[in-house]
């Protein structure tokens, strides 16, 4: 077991960087455009860009496993399923580029965003020495010291997600497994002609 560190390193929060602002604005714009486009193909393409933007945000915040899942399922599998769906059906012709805005729905979404946004101040700053992850160094040390021998996994993150937090992530694993099986079944039956 790794002994607990007497003094946790003090990291300074640098606030939101321009890269983060650009990613957040990109994700927000693509989300709104996905909802507003009347053309199904355009909405699918913009939705794929939205998923890739989210994957970049997750990766930027050092969660590459979540980013990879978002890229694979959100931008990959979902986009393929939606494209196969419109390939098998007819696209309705429309002269309008955007859907009319439903203002009551915008008000409800705005209220929801304000409620969720009001909780952001409860989070500790990046690198705050009083944050729970730095206050419980013995838990992190235990995981790092024993993850490989107790679980047999070759990756500490995998051992934490699949073994120590197995009950928490079981639902996520079932969803990813089901998406993979459904993808194989659909793509296995699909006949591509050139």
pLDDT of residue 27: 95
80-89, 102-111, 121-130, 149-158: the lowest-pLDDT one: 121-130
Judged against a pLDDT cut of 80, whether residue 136 lies above it is answered with no
pLDDT of residue 14: 52
Residues 90 and 131 in one domain: no
Residues 98 and 153 in one domain: no
pLDDT of residue 9: 46
Q: Tens digits of per-residue pLDDT, 85-113? A: 888 887 767 667 777 888 898 899 899 98
Assigned domain for 66 exists: yes
**Domain total in the chain:** 2
- CATH number of 77's domain: 1.20.120.1200
Residues 24 and 62 in one domain: yes
Residues 106 and 141 in one domain: no
Assigned domain for 93 exists: yes
In this prediction, residue 126 has a pLDDT band, given cuts at 50, 70 and 90, of low
pLDDT of residue 39: 84
What integer is the mean pLDDT of 161-183?
Answer: 78
Residues 21 and 113 in one domain: yes
pLDDT of residue 30: 95
Judged against a pLDDT cut of 80, whether residue 1 lies above it is answered with no
- Of 66, 97, 123, the residue at which a domain comes to its end is 123
Choose among 175, 147, 177: nearest CA to 159. 147
Residues 119 and 131 in one domain: no
Assigned domain for 6 exists: no
Assigned domain for 90 exists: yes
Structural domain including 182 reads: 127-194
pLDDT of residue 11: 45
Assigned domain for 178 exists: yes
Neighbour-count burial of 162, counting CB atoms closer than 10 A to its CB (0-12 exposed, 13-18 middle, 19+ buried):
middle
Q: Where are the alpha helices (DSSP H) in 61-165?
A: 64-69, 78-88, 103-117, 132-135, 137-151, 156-159
Judged against a pLDDT cut of 70, whether residue 189 lies above it is answered with no
Contact 55, 70 (CB under 8 A): yes
Residues 101 and 64 in one domain: yes
Q: How far, in Å, CA of 155 to CA of 146, rounded?
A: 12
In terms of average pLDDT, the best of 2-6, 14-18, 79-83, 93-97 is: 79-83
Residues 23 and 117 in one domain: yes
Judged against a pLDDT cut of 90, whether residue 28 lies above it is answered with yes
20-24, 125-129, 149-153: the lowest-pLDDT one: 125-129
pLDDT of residue 171: 77
């Amino acid at each position: 077991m790794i002994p607990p560190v007497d003094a946790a390193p003090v990291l300074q929060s640098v606030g939101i960087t321009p890269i983060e602002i650009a990613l957040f604005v990109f994700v927000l714009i693509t989300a709104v455009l996905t909802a507003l486009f009347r053309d199904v193909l355009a909405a699918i393409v913009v939705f794929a860009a939205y998923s890739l933007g989210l994957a970049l945000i997750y990766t930027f915040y050092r969660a590459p496993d979540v980013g990879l899942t978002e890229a694979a399922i959100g931008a990959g599998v979902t986009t393929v399923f939606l494209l196969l769906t419109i390939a098998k059906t007819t696209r309705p012709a429309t002269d309008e580029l955007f859907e009319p805005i439903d203002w009551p729905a915008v008000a409800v979404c705005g209220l929801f965003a304000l409620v969720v946004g009001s909780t952001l101040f409860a989070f500790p700053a990046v690198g705050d020495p009083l944050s729970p992850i730095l206050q419980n160094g013995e838990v992190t040390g235990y995981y790092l010291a024993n993850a490989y021998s107790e679980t047999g996994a070759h990756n500490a993150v995998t051992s934490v997600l699949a073994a120590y937090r197995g009950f928490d992530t079981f639902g996520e694993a079932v969803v990813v497994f089901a998406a993979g099986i459904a993808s194989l079944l659909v793509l296995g039956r699909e006949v591509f002609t050139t």
